[in-house]
Structure 1
Amino acid sequence: VYISGAGMANATAGMPDIGLLTMTEVVRLAGYVANAVTIPAIVDADTGFGGAENVARTIQELENAGLAGCHIEDQEFPKRCGHVAGKSIVDLEEMVGKIKAAVAARRDPNFMIIARTDSRAVEDFSSVVKRAHKYLDAGADAIFPEALQSAEEFRDFANQVKAPLLANMTEFGKSPLLSFRELADFGYRMVIFPQSAFRVSMKASGEFLRDLKKRGTQSDWADKMQTREELYELLEYDPAAESWKANVER
């Protein structure tokens, strides 16, 4: 499961993805997800919420919250969405220091540390490759090249960086929308669709609310809704179960 930084900021705080959530907020929100699922969950940890010392604490808090990994990016703070103009990145050695701090701080060797580089928008493609190799040398488990601009760049990056790779297939950004199969053929083993479900649900919610305001009833939408039973099944909640009754009666 992937937990989007933009998703947390947009959906829970009504804020843009510019680094406005604190580390403790991200840990708390991501922890809810990690504890609700039975498969590994990784989270967008932005810039690590400060310098190397802050990164180290971030890793430990995410581990404590049940996360299986995170990615940390090389943008300067305050960060911006990876697919908008105006980004700036930290010096290579500063990011190397953050990665080393993250690796040293983790207590579970299986906690995945993914290094994200936003250098494609700031420098050029060769810088993305150079930084990726340096980040791997510093101990990163995987590389996330943000906002590559063509299928050829995704292919060439995978050919030049032999490591576990993550591709971001966000909509309306700098990258073409490639399928998981296409990216897997290039060599990517992780593909995220960070805001896809959110965008679909937000558009549908807007359409519903406009119709509700106009007509004053939700009756025509009931067949498009998740039923109460479906929700309870998803939550593994049985109102009649003895365990739930016992909790209520305490």
Structure 2
Amino acid sequence: MGDLVSTSETPSGTPRARLRELLAGPEPLIAPGAYDALSARLVEQAGFDAVYMTGFGTSASRIGRPDVGLLSAGDMVDQVRRLVDAVDRPVIADADTGYGNAINVIHTVRAYEQAGVAALHLEDQVMPKKCGHMSGKVVVPREEMVGKIRAAVEARRDPDLVLVARTDAAAVHGLDDAIERARAFADAGADVLFVEAPTSEDDIATVARELHGVAPLVFNWAEGGRTPPLPFERVRELGFSLVLYPIATLLAATAAVQGVLRTIAEERSPLSVMDTLPTFDDFTDLIGLPEVRALEQRFAD
């Protein structure tokens, strides 16, 4: 985990280099979603090799509102910096539309890079954007997004920073247009392609077939969203390189909090469910209190 005095180096080099190795590996990389620093630490402690900062979860956790473009670039950079600081795993981050035109994208990429992300994804929606599994999306012209991808490529200072190009065009103009956009984004320099919200297994297979060999592909296993929940074995068979489970942690946390609050409301105490919760000492260990105590001893006068 991200120790208070650790460096960003891993046994395989930087988190960005490590992410590139994982994306090139024989197995799809699984990146569960994290919506704050604590959930990011839990993803890492569960043994996953990468953490995904979900924009949907960030909006829900920071302002208690849906993912409809209410957060600014500054809000998102602030959040991702907290996640990067909390873990040693590569962090893949939602960067929405880049928060404006190609010039804004340059600023966004540099800010995310300075925050320490290993990868970020940019989408072709019109601002204010919406969650990719909501209705009412609008996308910018293909040429405009190509320019934004080119700007992102030129903006990064570390060539290991992974740029993921996402298209939401399938819901607006159809799957064929989404695939053609993805090809154009790869030609513009995107490292990874992300066709959002295909609505059938046939469409998912078409994306995988048509973009095979163009660039590594993302499968967004959006829990409860418009894309059918394929078994992992099928996702592997289709050849996807990165599998996101963006909001399972958020939904699980919401259900757990609702449950304990229901108990307190009904029984006027959490006593009956205390044995299902981490102990105080277990929780403080989880969030790094032993390291703090060790550092206190190390730096004591």
> How does the TM-score come out when normalised to structure 1?
0.95
Distance in structure 2 (CA, Å) of the matches to 1:151 and 1:227: 43
**CA shift for structure 1 position 231:** 2.3
What is the rounded CA distance, in whole Å, between the counterparts of 2:72 and 2:142 in structure 1?
24
Cα deviation digits, residues 163-186 of structure 1 (max 9, x gap): 200111112221001122211110
**Alignment-mate amino acid for residue 194 of structure 1:** P
Partner of 2:173: 123
Q: 1:62 aligns with which of 98, 105, 112?
A: 112
Partner residue, 1:76: 126
Give me the whole-angstrom Cα distance separating, in 1, the residues matched to 2:103 and 2:292.
49
2:241 pairs with 1:194: no
Q: Counterparts of 2:278 and 2:197 in 1: how far apart (Å)?
A: 34
- Tell me which stretches of 4 or more aligned residues in structure 1 moved more than 6 Å: none
- The answer on 1:97 being equivalent to 2:142 is no
Structure 2: gaps of 5 or more residues: 1-50
Q: Cα distance 1:242–1:110, how it changes in 2: closer, same or farther (>3 A)?
A: closer
Match of 1:34 in 2: 84
Which segment is superposed worse, 230-239 or 118-127? 230-239
Contact 2:53 2:94 in 1 (8 A): yes
Letter of the aligned partner of 2:85 in structure 1? N
Deviation at 1:189, TM superposition (A): 1.1
Cα distance in 2, alignment partners of residues 210 and 242 from structure 1: 38
For 1:114-157, what per-residue CA distance to the aligned partner results, in whole angstroms no more than 9, with x for missing partners?
00000110011111110010000000000111000111211111
Using the alignment, how far apart are the partners of 2:243 and 2:168 within structure 1? Answer: 17
Alpha carbons of 1:239 and 1:43: their partners in 2 closer, same or farther (altered >3 Å)? closer
How far 1:238 moved relative to its partner?
1.6
The match for 1:135 is 185
TM-score, normalized by length of structure 2?
0.79
Amino acid corresponding to residue 109 of structure 1 in structure 2: P
2:289 alignment partner in structure 1: 237
Matched letter for residue 218 of structure 1: P
Structure-2 change in CA distance of 1:104 and 1:238 (3 Å): same
Match of 1:156 among 179, 195, 206: 206
Distance 1:54 1:103, change over 3 A: same
Q: Deviation of residue 246 (structure 1)?
A: 7.0
Asked if structure 2 preserves the Cα contact closer than 8 Å seen for 1:238 and 1:244, the reply is no
Root mean square deviation, CA, Å: 1.6
Give the match's secondary structure for 1:24: helix
**Contact between 2:223 and 2:246, CA under 8 Å: does it hold in 1?**
no
5 Å matches for 1:205-244? 205-238=257-290, 241-244=293-296
Residue range with higher mean Cα deviation, 132-141 or 213-222: 213-222
Q: How many residues align?
A: 249
Structure 1 regions of 5+ residues with no counterpart? none
Higher relative contact order (CA 8 A, sep 6+): 2
DSSP-derived class of the 2:163 partner: strand
Deviation at 1:24, TM superposition (A): 1.1
Instruction: Using the aligned pairs only, state the percent identity.
Output: 37
Residue matched to 2:233: 181
Letter in 2 for 1:92: R
Deviation at 1:239, TM superposition (A): 7.6
Displacement of 1:227 in angstroms is 2.3
For residues 170-220 of structure 1, the C-alpha deviation after alignment (integer angstroms, 9 at most, x for no partner) is: 122210011222111101010111111110110121121121011011111
Provide Cα deviations, 1:60-79, integer angstroms capped at 9, x if missing partner. Answer: 11111111110000000111
Give CA deviations for 1:23-54 in whole Å, capped at 9, x if unaligned.
11111111111111111001100010111011
